[in-house]
Structure 1
Amino acid sequence: MAERVFLQVDGLRFSYPECAVLDGLSLAWPAGLALVRGDESSGKTTLLRLLAGELAAQAGRILLQGTGPAETPKAYAQKVFWADPRAGDLDSFTARGWLEGLPTRYPLWDAAALAAHTEGFTLQEHLDKPFYALSTGSKRKVLMAGALASGAPLTLIDEPVGGLDKPSIRYLAQALASEASRQDRLTVVAHYEALADVPRGTVVDLVRP
């Protein structure tokens, strides 16, 4: 039996003024775990931002369980988790304050999962620090703890291992492996290569234009 399509992308096109990035990309992803793989400037983050509805495609269509960012942006946004680890828009928040605000945005929020990920990523000592005071790795761990606990049907994680120590990488692999068998959720990870000890799931390779 063919796997049911969870996220459908048809003919996606996006260009920046200086270069084309995606040209006619089409995907049909089941639930579980997916990897967007490619070198620097191949369009990995751009694709995640398009899937998040943060960027508007110049052509093509995105459908997540029948909902699209162009047609029903508010309904679509409630189904998607995206937090750019490179952005500075969270600097005024403490890690705890940001995490405490997420349940109101995500109806499927899982408090028990947050507690497990907080422990797994050893975040307890960092929760009352503002984001600007966190290291690159600690910031990523906070964002990923929120992402994994959000319960969002589409969860987008960009370059997950940047700045992480080895124990945190091992825990991340375990956490992502547990997402691979989910039937109610798609977790999309963008990275330049497959992560060790993580089921590969669906893979799309992007090539720098």
Structure 2
Amino acid sequence: MITEKSHSGPVAIRFNHVSFAYGSSPVLEDVNFHIHQGDFSALVGPNGSGKTTILKLLLNLERPDSGRITLFEGLAGFKRDRIGYVPQHAGYDPAFPITVKEVVRMGRLKSFSRKFRSVDEEAVTEAMERAGISELSGQPYQSLSGGQRRRVLVARALASRPLLLILDEPTANMDAESEERLFGTLGSLKGSTTILIVTHDQSFVSSLTDIVLCVGDRLKTGTARTVVRHRTEPAADAPPDLFGGKAVRVRHDVALNDTFCCREVKKI
């Protein structure tokens, strides 16, 4: 009999009995889940299921009606500027001439009153190298393809040297080559950075994924949604170019307890 030790390290994200409503319309009810530091997680669910609400709660754009959300428990001095966020859409005025490097530099601007320092320049250079866009440095942002723009936004988020990286629908309108490069970058970050990908694809997730959290299971008592952890399994029938060519299937029929990752799992 072999005993596998599951994750038991510090927690990066914890939702503890969180409920939220827009006015009289309940969205989330009694949501409980946690993600460990260094985990690669996927938050999946159909449009309108509550994924965006969870994002807003994580980014402190909304406050829960009840319950508690904690980030990086036990880490003294944690600030939310250590969260890197890659939005699904981010446009710039075509009339405003801005280069790729200037977009990435925005990731270091905590305030416009602070001067740009050598450490900031080093972080920008490192972020561009990690995202594989160094050769695009001087190009106008508006001239790039959709996939290239997404990688630039990833670099902008990485420039802040985040402890938590959140990506909203990162592969939307992305070509296969850009998708492969993106997941190559994310793979290099796994373990050192906590990564949360938000996606409406409910069938498959990247094979990098440690945890799948499914949003959208309606509670029997009403219309509010909850979050359920599910298992994954290898998928021979996954599209060959999905998630950089490495995808696994989400087992919606196998729900896991939220403490599953913290236990010892015995295999014969």
Instruction: Note whether the superposition's TM-score is higher than 0.5.
Output: yes
Distance 1:87 1:20 in 2: 29
Report how far residue 37 of structure 1 moved. 0.9
CA distance change for structure 1 residues 83 and 174 in 2, over 3 Å: closer, same or farther? closer
The reply on whether 1:140 has 2:150 as its aligned counterpart is yes
Distance 1:104 1:154 in 2: 18
CA distance change for structure 1 residues 14 and 67 in 2, over 3 Å: closer, same or farther? farther
2:214 match: 205
1:188 match: 196
Q: Which amino acid in structure 1 is aligned with residue 89 of structure 2?
A: R
2:31 match: 25
The reply on whether 1:103 has 2:108 as its aligned counterpart is yes
Larger Rg: 2
Report how far residue 151 of structure 1 moved. 1.9
1:155 match: 165
Match 1:64 to one of 43, 63, 71 = 71
Q: Which amino acid in structure 2 is aligned with residue 35 of structure 1?
A: A
Distance 1:139 1:45 in 2: 21
- Whether the aligned pair in 1 keeps the contact of 2:72 and 2:78 (CA below 8 Å) is no
Q: Kindly tell me the number of residue pairs found equivalent between the two proteins.
A: 196
The reply on whether 1:114 has 2:128 as its aligned counterpart is yes
Normalising by structure 1, we get a TM-score of 0.77
Q: Which amino acid in structure 2 is aligned with residue 97 of structure 1?
A: E
Distance 1:110 1:126 in 2: 13
CA distance change for structure 1 residues 20 and 139 in 2, over 3 Å: closer, same or farther? farther
2:8 match: 3
Give unmatched runs, 5+ long, in structure 2: 112-118, 218-224, 226-268
Report how far residue 110 of structure 1 moved. 6.0
Per-residue CA deviations over 1:120-171 (Å, capped at 9, x if unaligned) read xx871784235xx665444322212222443211211000101111101111
- Whether the aligned pair in 1 keeps the contact of 2:105 and 2:156 (CA below 8 Å) is no
Match 1:86 to one of 76, 85, 89 = 89
Give unmatched runs, 5+ long, in structure 1: 69-73
Structure having the higher helix fraction is 1
SS for the counterpart of 1:206 is strand
Report how far residue 17 of structure 1 moved. 3.8
Q: Which amino acid in structure 1 is aligned with residue 81 of structure 2?
A: Q
Query: Which 4+ residue blocks in structure 1 deviate beyond 6 angstroms?
Result: none
Identity %: 22
Report how far residue 65 of structure 1 moved. 1.8
Per-residue CA deviations over 1:66-121 (Å, capped at 9, x if unaligned) read 389xxxxx963222122433355x545734323112224399946323223143xx
The CA RMSD over aligned residues, in Å, is 3.2
Per-residue CA deviations over 1:173-196 (Å, capped at 9, x if unaligned) read 2222223322xx311100123434
Q: Which structure exhibits the higher relative contact order, with contacts defined as CA atoms closer than 8 Å and separated by 6 or more residues?
A: 1
CA distance change for structure 1 residues 67 and 146 in 2, over 3 Å: closer, same or farther? farther
Distance 1:50 1:160 in 2: 19
Distance 1:66 1:93 in 2: 42
Distance 1:113 1:129 in 2: 16
